Amino acid sequence: MAPTAGRESWLDGTESSGTTPLETPTATPLATPISARSVRWEKDVEDAAAGALQRPLLYKRGTNTTSQMAIVGANTCPIESLDYEIVENDVYNQDWRSRGKLQIFQYQVLKWVLALLVGVVVGLVGFFSNIAVENIAGFKLLLTGDLMLQNRYLAAFELYIGCNAVLAAAAAALCAYVAPAAAGSGIPEVKAYLNGIDAHSILAPSTLLVKILGSVLGVSAGFVLGKEGPMVHTGSCVASLLAQGGSRKYGLTWNWIRYFKNDLDRRDLITCGAAAGVAAAFRAPVGGVLFALEEVTSWWRSALLWRTFSTTAVATMVLHALITYCRGGHCGLFGKGGLIMFDLSSRQATYTATDLAAVVLLAVLGGLLGALFNFLVDRVLRAYSIVNEKGACYKIVLTVTISVITSCCTFGLPWLTACTPCPPELASKCPTIGRSGNFKNFQCPPGQYNALASLFFNTNDDAIRNLFSAGYDREFGVSTLLTFFTTVYTLGLLTYGVAVPSGLFIPVILSGASFGRLAGTLLGSVSGLDPGLFALLGAAAFLGGTMRMTVSVCVILLELTNDLLLLPLIMLVLLIAKTVADCFNKGVYEQIVRMKGLPYLEVHAEPCTRSLVAGDVVSGPLVTFSSVERVGTVVHTLRSTGHNGFPVIEDPPFAPAPELCGLVLRSHLLVLLQGRIFTSDRVKTGAAEVFRRLAPFDFAKAGSGKGIKVDDLDLTEEEMDMYMDLHPITNRSPYTVVENMSLAKAAVLFRGLGLRHMCVLPRTQGFRLLNQMKNNLMMHMKRRKL
């Protein structure tokens, strides 16, 4: 659980238990655990005690808006965790007992209907994004090209740079003023959400709208970015909107989705949405499933695998059907293709030992350059945070500045390249007159083309298609490829972090493809592989070196090329590039999650936790409730603490000796208080009284910001002196561990089960159990790296 006001966090992975119900929370110093004083990790423990692991990476002013511009070094207190655990209390049991066979069948059918509906919507969004980018960028390049044909070069440059600046300013304004959470890729936020972190506004309807529009405007503005990463975020936002039954704020609600008002079902559907986003971006349904499994999710099961695959299949079929329809000329001047569809032709993939040596060298260099890219992205984001935290206007100015720099590079650098005569065998295709193609005429006379303009004066997707092209090895020279690689590598670093929805897939693929084709051109005398194949392998090397994904990237590239003969080479390149890059730093998304301050819990516990036990990191005094508690005590505790869960103790006269009754959630306490199910005496009322006044769905989780707040309660003094029975809303079977369990083992158990609370019980049992539990019962493991 992320810390909130009045909470102290310990060891970067645990949270203080707070105070007794009648006391105000105070900070309690953390002593060095006895079991860790003589181990080599003592310095880590001392740093934790000094609060070193709690401190943000940067000390900057600003609020947490979940965009990388404002969140670097910002306070993470507003971030809450998600309750993926099923709360098995009387309310939950009554809910399932009250459901008939028809309602259970309806629940199961709705799971599939919503999953397939997410695929349809994401496919439509992907199609809309493709057509919008193709038309906006197409008209911009067509008008600029017409002016170039008339030798009005200055007017063409002014039009080109003006259009890009306006589009960039519009995208930045949307992100800065409407939905700051829409800026950036969105994959780190989705990754954190599926790990259990409910960061503010990352899946809000406004974020969805700005993500779509801002991505279209940003890509059309000529930035070195892509909309593949934003498509993952878009799919997650669509799934979240459907899973929570719409949005009350915008008047879009559906009561028949009430079964899904819990974090568990929402998480499953959002996983389907993230996978559908990848499928819609690359037309790779299997790659989308593997991407969700390998990169973003922390929890997986076979039923979710089948449902996710169905979602990606539907998204791909919808997108394919619409693209096929448009290729018949029914979608206007620029509606005959999808710019993010890299339809690569099959190529011969026979290779010798010399070819393998060249491929291994390419993979090693790709891993090194990928690790360097991650290092520089970290530095660029830190520098941009200084500017962006000053306000929305500064974000827009920074975005427009990067747009002007990009426009000057893409329009100006081709002038430094000499024109090349068109090859006689390609007379029908060279030069290209229009928006896209391999042989751009630019300022060259008839019968000649500008090789650098064929890459720069194009959309990013068409540039990738040109680099992947095969059949004419002398299309791009060494100087052209070296200039393009250096420029794109630099602009990709400068662009990521501005206030527009921006993905890293396209910059990385562009850099890798140009570097790979450059290597193929240089090694042409010793290797028989096609330069286009080298470009594909270079893209794979850069993807492995930056994002550290192997299986999903391999399948995505295979689905793009439709050639299984490339499988051994792609696997070899990805494994080598990832291994080399892992020697220097982590993947780019892991770095961004850490920079944002999102309390992400890693798969593997830190080595120092193997020398600690669970009892070493708990702290007290603990906030507990009696099974029948005074209303005033509950209200005061909720106001004075920020805890989400509280242990409930069964004590006399309801039990012969104090014992753990279970765990009660803050949200359920607030529902019970609002329902005013009180008694004048300290007696059990049972579940019947609760069900007489409240329905099980009253305890369902509300949408973001729609839950009951303790300040909303208007209780009289007489009601504050009454009692409330907590048995009906208490989870009688919370996950517990003994205090001598290894902290590493407890952390793996905590993450693997998707928990938010874990009780640490003492080994000693008996009449004095309550006093011991007040010192070391609850371990609120906040979802941060231990």
DSSP of 463-476: HHHHHH--S-TTSS
Q: Which of 274-283, 449-458, 690-699 has the lowest mean pLDDT?
A: 690-699
Could you read off the pLDDT of 61-105 as tens digits, one per residue? 334 343 443 334 344 446 778 888 888 888 888 777 777 788 788
Looking at residue 413, its amino acid is L
Span 335-371, pLDDT tens digits: 554 444 454 554 555 778 888 999 999 999 999 999 9
**By mean pLDDT, which of 241-255, 381-395, 507-521, 766-780 is the weakest?**
766-780
Which pLDDT score is estimated for 600? 85
The answer to whether residue 734 is domain-embedded is yes
Question: Residue 69 in 3-state DSSP?
Answer: helix
pLDDT value of residue 258: 66
State residue 59's pLDDT score: 35
Residue type, 557: L
Grade residue 433 by pLDDT with cuts at 50, 70 and 90.
low
234 — pLDDT class (breaks 50, 70, 90): very high
The confidence score (pLDDT) of residue 439 equals 75
Q: Are 527 and 354 in contact (CB under 8 A)?
A: yes
The region of weakest confidence among 74-78, 136-140, 235-239, 701-705 is: 74-78
Q: State the pLDDT at residue 286.
A: 93
Instruction: Give the pLDDT mean for 316-323.
Output: 88
> What per-residue confidence (pLDDT) applies to 45?
37
- Any domain includes 491: no
State mean pLDDT over 688-714: 77
- What pLDDT sits at residue 15? 36
- Of 280, 307, 328, which residue constitutes the final position of a domain? 328
| Residue 736 DSSP code | E
Can you tell me which residue has the tokens 């990013």? 460
98-102, 142-146, 600-604, 643-647: segment of lowest average pLDDT: 98-102
Q: Is residue 378 part of a domain?
A: no
Written as six digits, the tokens of 173 are 């304004």
At 86 the pLDDT is: 84
Q: What is the pLDDT of residues 22-37, one digit of tens each?
A: 333 333 333 333 333 3
Which pTM value belongs to this model? 0.83
pLDDT of residue 595: 86
**pLDDT digits 0-9 by tens, 503-522:** 899 899 999 999 999 999 89
Domain end, chosen from 293, 328, 363, is at 328
pLDDT category at 211 given cuts 50, 70, 90 is very high
Q: Is the pLDDT of residue 240 over 80?
A: yes
Q: Would 500 be classed as within a structural domain?
A: no
Mean pLDDT of the chain: 80
For residue 14, pLDDT beyond 50: no
CA angle 550, 554, 558 (to 5 degrees): 175
**Listed range (14-23, 177-186, 227-236, 566-575) with the worst mean pLDDT:** 14-23
Answer whether residue 115 shows pLDDT above 50: yes
CA distance 145 to 138: 10
pLDDT value at residue 339? 41
For position 5, what pLDDT does the model report? 32
Cα angle at 248 between 245 and 250, to 5 degrees? 110
The CATH number for 312's domain is 1.10.3080.10
Confidence check: pLDDT of 116 > 90: yes
Q: Is 424 exposed, middle or buried (0-12, 13-18, 19+ CB in 10 A)?
A: exposed
In the predicted structure, residue 450 carries a pLDDT above the cut 60: yes
State which of 275, 302, 328 marks the end of a domain.
Answer: 328
The Cα 220–Cα 214 span in angstroms is: 10
State the pLDDT at residue 155.
93
The per-residue pLDDT for 325 is 81
- Would the pLDDT of 416 be above 70? yes
> Among candidates 645, 550, 597, which has minimal Cα distance to 62?
597
Tokens of 295: 């990169």
Name every residue whose Cβ is closer than 8 Å to that of residue 673 and which is 6 or more positions away in sequence: 631, 634, 635, 713, 715, 724
**Residue 255: per-residue pLDDT:** 61
- What percentage of the chain reaches a pLDDT higher than 70? 80
- pLDDT on residue 349: 59
Percent of the chain past pLDDT 90, that is, above it, reads 37
- Whether 485 and 467 have beta carbons less than 8 Å apart is answered as no
Q: What's the pLDDT band for 780 if we cut at 50, 70, 90?
A: very low
Tallying the residues shown for the chain, one arrives at: 786
124 against 779, higher pLDDT: 124
Among 198, 195, 196, CA closest to 181: 198
State the Cα–Cα distance between residues 27 and 367, nearest whole angstrom: 45
CATH classification of the domain holding 729: 3.10.580.10
524 vs 401 pLDDT, higher one: 401
The predicted model gives 2-19 an average pLDDT of 32
How far is Cα 367 from Cα 385, in angstroms, rounded to an integer?
27
Residue 360 CA: distances (Å) to CA of 197, 356, 567: 39, 6, 15
Quick check: is 686 in a domain? yes
Quote the CA–CA distance of 306 and 303 in Å, as a whole number: 5
CB 208 within 8 A of CB 237: yes
- Look at residue 276 in the predicted model and tell me its pLDDT: 95
Number of domains forming the structure of the chain: 2
243 inside domain:
yes
Q: Which domain holds residue 753?
A: 625-781
Q: Is residue 431, in this structure, part of any structural domain at all? A: no
